[in-house]
Structure 1
Amino acid sequence: MAVSVTLPALGESVTEGTVTRWLKAEGERVEADEPLLEVSTDKVDTEIPAPAAGVLASIKVAEDETVEVGAELAIIDDGSGAPAAESAPAQAEAPAEAPAAQPEPAAAPAQEAPAQEAPKQEAPAAPAGGAQGSGASTGSTGASGTDVLLPALGESVTEGTVTRWLKEVGEEVAEDEPLLEVSTDKVDTEIPAPTAGTLLEILVGEDETAEVGAKLAVIGQKGAAPAQAEAPAAPAPAQEAPKQEAPKQEAPKQEAPAPAPAPQAPTTPAPQAVTTPAPDPVPAAPAPAPAAAPVTPAPAAGEADAAYVTPLVRKLAQENGVNLATVKGTGVGGRIRKQDVIAAAEAAKQQQAAPAAAAAPAASGTKAPAIEASPLRGQTVKMPRMRKVIGDNMMKALHGQAQLTSVVEVDITKIMRMRNKAKDAFAQREGVKLSPMPFFVKAAVQALKAHPVVNARINEDEGTITYFDTENIGIAVDAEKGLMTPVIKGAGDLNIAGIARKTAELAGKVRTNKISPDDMSGATFTISNTGSRGALFDTVIVPPNQVGILGIGATVKRPVVVDHPELGETIAVRHMTYLALSYDHRLVDGADAARYLTTVKQILEAGEFETEIGL
């Protein structure tokens, strides 16, 4: 039966998406919930999982094509098409040799393709190897129950390494109880049990790498546990058989002879992470089966001199000239993560710059920064999808609105002094740093309640205006892929601590590629800290479906005239910043913008936040 793969709704107001990459080709086997393709929208990039297991029969939308929500993307054959696709390689190579594989062991290496389907037909043989502790069976199992699959652990994450099993075969597990720990190039996490029962079989051992969607273990009821208990009885024939059929999973019980390499043969049931010496007698055998994720043994075989690292981390280390042997990992079990390599590269740059800094004259004052030429100079590259989405949104906003900007200057000296007094205790109490940003957000949302004309939307098709009764604040975050704007929902109901926690949470999700479409939708007003990189102020662009955005400039110390109640007008050094409000002049007049900015200025300069920050 054909199952249609459609573009799901990916967030509020998202009506279309662009296929950026197909993760499977036509004719390939896919499992249910396995990532099938990547889609980009104006809100977020995400993966679309397969709705059913089967064969990808047809791709309807090519890469870089844009379709509406609900459009058909592909067709998966989950019925008779699936077995046909699995047997196709066998028929293409040598259909007549399949039955001959049992009496003729020498012909087995040429018949490597059937090894992909053989485990399902010879289930009784697999538990013998799969229950031996490593659990590195390639999917063959004599136990029936619920499969534990490696879930999608973030955008662009295609594989994960099992770092530690928290349960052993035969142990009872509860639903949602942590079952194992997995490490990827982005995050280390625990995988919970999908159901309660007995851990019948472990299919991927520790330090082995599996693709997203791969079967990790089987959980069933106590009655099914004897499938594991029978395993010790099977090793006698199972250990003798692999000596000639090392790379194959279906041959063990047919092969009675026991050649000399017997001690190494039992380690071969795990093509995902097994060391290469065992299959030396038949080195050409593994080649015909690249579909069984043969890319994973390479990193595992190369970890004799160092702890396992993902291919992405290894590549990053090579590009930055980082020796992984000198890097201390911060992941589970001391594993080296992407952040560790980046930190090591930065430390190396600082060490290189230290001698030059020491040699500079002490009285030279402020030095010009060392400027290195960018590798992008002289290159022509394809525009990234996220960059194109940002550009299209900005052009849409500028062409669809009458935008202009008003600016005011604010003295935030009281807030800066207040923050310095409270930041240490605040961090210990709330678990996040106290930056100036939450004060600006708090003042902005308080002013929005008094000036709803800035917190509104023009409904062009209906010819109406919606004045919102909630303040959902979009926070512009400078991410590696480009500017993204997650949303603090109900910011008007939060205090300083609540705003600080939510801002840190959303910014962290953006920078670790864990942001969801819901986190990116629903903003009624936006705030952009353009001064975080030193800009005094900026003429920020109002996002679509909003009428205002507040830009926060850099805070600088400079002398200003202060009207002191006793000293009169005097000059003092103060912390000053600019606030720039861009707005849609179709709804917001200059006087409205000035009134809103004046309210924000008064709230900030009054600085009555002592109670909220614990002073």
Structure 2
Amino acid sequence: MPVSVTMPRLGESVTEGTVTRWLKQEGDTVEVDEPLLEVSTDKVDTEIPSPAAGVLSRIVVGEDETAEVGSELAVIAGEGESTGGGGEAAGQQEEPAEQAEEAAEEPQAEAEQPAVEEPAQEQAAPAPSGEGTPVKMPALGESVTEGTVTRWLKQVGDTVEVDEPLLEVSTDKVDTEIPSPVAGTVLEIKVAEDETAAVGADLAVIGAAGAAPAEAKPEPKPEPKAEPKPEAKPEPKAEAKPEPKVEEPTPGMSYNEPSAEAETSARPAQAEQKAVPSAPQTQRPSAPAPSGGEEAAGYVTPLVRKLAGEHGVDLSSVNGTGVGGRIRKQDVLEAAEKAKAAKAAPAPAQQPAAAAPAKPAAKPQPSAKRGTTEKLPRIRAVIAKRMHESLHEMAQLTTVVEVDVTKVAKLRARAKESFQQRHGVKLSFLPFFALAAVEALQAYPIVNASMDLDAGTITYPESEHLGIAVDTERGLMVPVIHGAGDLNLGGIAKRIADLAERTRTNKISPDEIAGATFTLTNTGSRGALFDTPIVPSPQSAMLGTGAVVKRPVVVNDPELGEVVAVRSMVYLALSYDHRIIDGADAARFLVAVKERLEAGSFEAELGL
């Protein structure tokens, strides 16, 4: 029985989606849960799996077309079943008719042009070269419409394996290798190096092993690539290539990172996070590494060169771990981290008194985007529209309190090593803020509520679904910790780390970025004291946590009275919809969070 493939609901308030690419074509066989097509919405880009096994009999919605939630996208028929209303009978009727037409045309063709057969046979000889599998330019990120071939790793006549790197492509967002979709022989190269091709365009043709004629080699007439070939062939590529986004987290602001203390401006935790995605690359052979400097002098992609400029890395001193010793983004980041670690290394013990004079802060490098114009990414347009609507729909107001988190800082310092061993994640300030906020939401549910002015109702959710703002390459996204009120400190810390990592690597599911009732944004991750967050509709409030900094504060000592002491301080800013939340409600909520943090009673949560 035919099964209909429908547009799923890909997030709260999402009513439609755009088909960006069909992974299967009509007549292809599919398995249950095998990716069938890719869909893009205002909130997420994702693959739609097949709901049943069978044959893709009909595609209803083409690429770049938009369909409403619940509408039919395609039809899957079981093997041997009809492909749709009367299709089988129609096929049986059309088949003899087509055969009759062919039979009627054949005598005429033979009578008029008796010598046509020989040229036809001659053309049939090289046919295998045209019957190969095309290698197409993939979609390498949202809003990316084209890519430039920077280097061919294989030439016409070379044999390739499945997933073996075939060429390197550069876009305005990413540099990456394109793997071969099949095993075989390169029959044709259609786009030469330094040429640009649109997404979906054919780049090359791969035929069966040994099927390529020798004369097919000069057909594309590429420039001789004697140097890359011997360097590229020795590298085994058994493992599947990681997605570009997995290789490298965004170097910019990440709202889910721990709040920055003044004394930890070097941020070694972030350095470790950046090193994690590049770990798989170290498994690749790096024998050609000595030629990395030479390769860098020959060609370095614009993205790598820009990254090196931003981090002050000398490319001539970097050994590349890419194909043929090519310098990759991971190499630049690792070199930058090593340089930073070397600068931050403590002075030798025998010279404690000879403190080196403080060096002036490094001058920031000018961005390569100065004086340029680029296409507005769709997700940025969506964010802009929603922020504008939210700001105009609500009567938003922000209330700020100052919190002394010295006790939390001391507990964190005592427990962070054992906490990481026990839970597998680092202990930042953010889980403390999140836990205190969730407990305050339970005490003051109006802050967690939503209002429908047209219906004249206020809805109080049964649970606290906490959104965590995360900065990604595609823009700001907010994954959700559903049922955060049921989690302890360790559970919240693990959920934050997991959601943040999968959001950055584009492995988050649509359901995990929908349904937030309250949002937490760590605006202090890069040193900001506080800001005034914009509440995302239909939520009624959003809490921003500033940087944790040490400074002198007047405290009341039981024995000495009022004294000035160095304390760890942070600002908490609550933006809220004044139509539903009064200023007194906001103040009560913030005071509850403040008292919970200043009490610092988290020993049981930390196992102390």
Q: Per the shorter chain, which TM-score range?
A: 0.5 to 0.7
Q: State the partner residue of 1:281.
A: 214
Cross-structure match for 2:369: 376
Asked whether 1:591 is paired with 2:584, we answer yes
Mapped pair 1:510 → 2:497 = no
CA contact (8 A) 1:445 1:492 kept: yes
Which secondary structure state, in structure 2, belongs to the residue aligned with residue 46 of structure 1?
strand
Q: Map 1:408-557; keep pairs closer than 5 Å.
A: 408-557=401-550
Per-residue CA distance 1:259-297 (angstroms, 9 max, x = gap): xxxxxxxxxxxx859778x7353527999xxxxxxxxxx
Other structure's SS at 2:125 match: helix
Q: Following TM superposition, by how much is the alpha carbon of 1:508 offset from its aligned partner in structure 2, in angstroms? A: 0.9
Once the 2 structures are TM-superposed, how far is the Cα of residue 354 of structure 1 from its aligned partner? 10
Task: Indicate how the Cα distance of structure 1 residues 107 and 602 shifts in structure 2: closer, same or farther if over 3 A, else same.
Answer: same
Does the 8 A contact of 1:110 with 1:285 survive in 2? Answer: no
SS at match of 2:334: helix
Deviations 1:94-120 (A, max 9, x none): x999xx99999854334338957xxxx
Structure 2 distance, partners of 1:382, 1:406, is 37
SS of structure 1 residue aligned to 2:328:
helix
Structure 1 letter corresponding to 2:233: A
CA contact under 8 A between 1:446 and 1:492: conserved in structure 2? Answer: yes
2:304 to 320, 323, 331: 320
Q: Deviations over 1:506-560 (max 9, x none)?
A: 0011011100011111111110001001110010011111111100001111001
- State the Cα deviation string for residues 5-31 of structure 1 (Å, max 9, x = none): 642221343222245x33579x88755
Distance change >3 Å, CA 353–CA 504, structure 1 → 2:
closer
Say whether residues 1:606 and 2:599 are aligned partners: yes
Residue number in structure 2 paired with 1:304: 233
Structure 2 counterpart SS, 1:382: coil
Q: Is 1:390 aligned with 2:377? A: no
Q: Is the Cα contact below 8 Å between 1:101 and 1:108 reproduced in 2?
A: no
Superposed counterparts of 1:258-273, under 5 Å: none
Q: Using the alignment, how far apart are the partners of 2:419 and 2:338 within structure 1? A: 34
Shift of 1:370: 3.1
- Partners of 1:325 and 1:406 lie apart in 2 by 49
Is 1:342 the counterpart of 2:329? The answer is yes
Counterpart of 1:14?
14
**TM-score, with structure 1 as normaliser:** 0.61
Distance, in Å, in 2 between the alignment partners of 1:500 and 1:41 is 29
Task: Check 1:336–1:605 CA distance in 2 against 1; reply closer, same or farther (3 A cut).
Answer: farther
Residues 516 and 350 from structure 1, CA distance in 2 versus in 1: closer, same or farther, beyond 3 angstroms?
closer
Q: Answer whether contact 1:486 1:521 (CA < 8 A) is retained.
A: yes
The aligned runs of 1:45-124 (5 Å cut-off) are 45-48=45-48, 53-54=55-56, 59=61, 63=64, 66-72=66-72, 107-112=123-128, 115=131
Letter in 2 for 1:304: K
**8 Å contact kept, 1:456–1:546:** yes
Q: Decide which of 32, 36, 39 is 2:30's aligned counterpart.
A: 32
The alpha-carbon distance between structure 1 residues 488 and 54, as it changes in their structure 2 partners (threshold 3 A), is: closer
Alpha-carbon deviations, 1:32-62, whole Å to 9, x = none? 37756543323212234577645776755x6
TM-aligned CA deviation for residue 605 of structure 1: 0.1
From the superposition, tell whether residues 513 and 369 of structure 1 become closer, same or farther in structure 2 (CA, over 3 Å): same
Q: Which amino acid aligns with 1:528?
A: T
| Cα distance change on mapping 1:3 and 1:108 into 2, 3 Å | farther
CA distance in 2, matches of 1:325, 1:365: 27
Q: How far has the Cα of 1:357 moved from its partner?
A: 11
Closer, same or farther in 2 for the Cα pair 1:453/1:372, shift >3 Å?
same
Which one-letter code corresponds to 1:45 in the other structure? D
- The one-character-per-residue Cα deviations of 1:145-203 (angstroms, maximum 9, x if unpaired) are xxxxxxx9x998xxxxxxxxxxxxxxxxxxxxxxxx98999xxxxxxxxxxxxxxxxxx
Q: Secondary structure at the match of 1:465?
A: strand
CA–CA distance in structure 1, aligned partners of residues 165 and 543 of structure 2: 38
Structure 1: 5+ residue stretches without partners: 117-137, 139-151, 157-180, 186-207, 217-241, 248-270, 288-298, 330-334
- Tell me which amino acid in the other structure corresponds to 1:32: V
Shift in Å, 1:467: 1.2
Structure possessing the higher relative contact order (Cα contacts under 8 Å, 6 or more residues apart):
2
Letter in 2 for 1:111: A
Kept in 2, the 8 Å contact 1:101–1:107? The answer is no
Counterpart position of 1:572:
565
How do 1:118-267 and structure 2 match up within 5 A? 211=181
SS at match of 1:579: strand
Give the whole-Å Cα distance in 2 for the aligned partners of 1:15 and 1:45: 14
Distance 1:444 1:30, change over 3 A: same
Q: CA deviation at 1:422?
A: 0.3
Tell me, in whole angstroms, the C-alpha distance in 2 between the residues paired with 1:9 and 1:369.
Answer: 48
Distance 1:604 1:352, change over 3 A: closer
Distance 1:67 1:432, change over 3 A: same
Counterpart Cα distance in 1 of 2:435 and 2:186 = 66
List alignment gaps of at least 5 residues for structure 2. Answer: 78-82, 111-115, 143-161, 167-177, 188-204, 221-227, 248-294, 306-314, 346-353
User: How many residues of Structure 1 are paired with residues of Structure 2 in the alignment?
Assistant: 455
The 3-state SS of whatever aligns with 2:529 is coil
Q: Using the alignment, how far apart are the partners of 1:549 and 1:577 within structure 2?
A: 17
Alpha-carbon contact 1:528-1:550 (below 8 Å) kept: yes
User: Conserved in 1, the CA contact under 8 Å of 2:321 and 2:328?
Assistant: no
Give the letter aligned to residue 379 of structure 2. Answer: M
What secondary structure, in the 3-state scheme, does the structure 2 residue paired with 1:112 have?
Answer: helix
Distance in 2, Cα, partners of 1:458 & 1:584: 10
Contact 1:457/1:465 (8 A) holds in 2: yes
Secondary structure (helix, strand or coil) at the match of 1:370 reads: coil
| Structure 1 residue 320, shift from structure 2 partner | 1.5
Letter of the aligned partner of 1:369 in structure 2?
Answer: A
**One-letter amino acid matched to 1:109:** A
Pairwise CA distance, 1:481: 0.9
Amino acid at match of 1:495: N
Match of 2:153 in 1: none
The separation in 1 between residues aligned to 2:501 and 2:141, in whole angstroms, is: 14
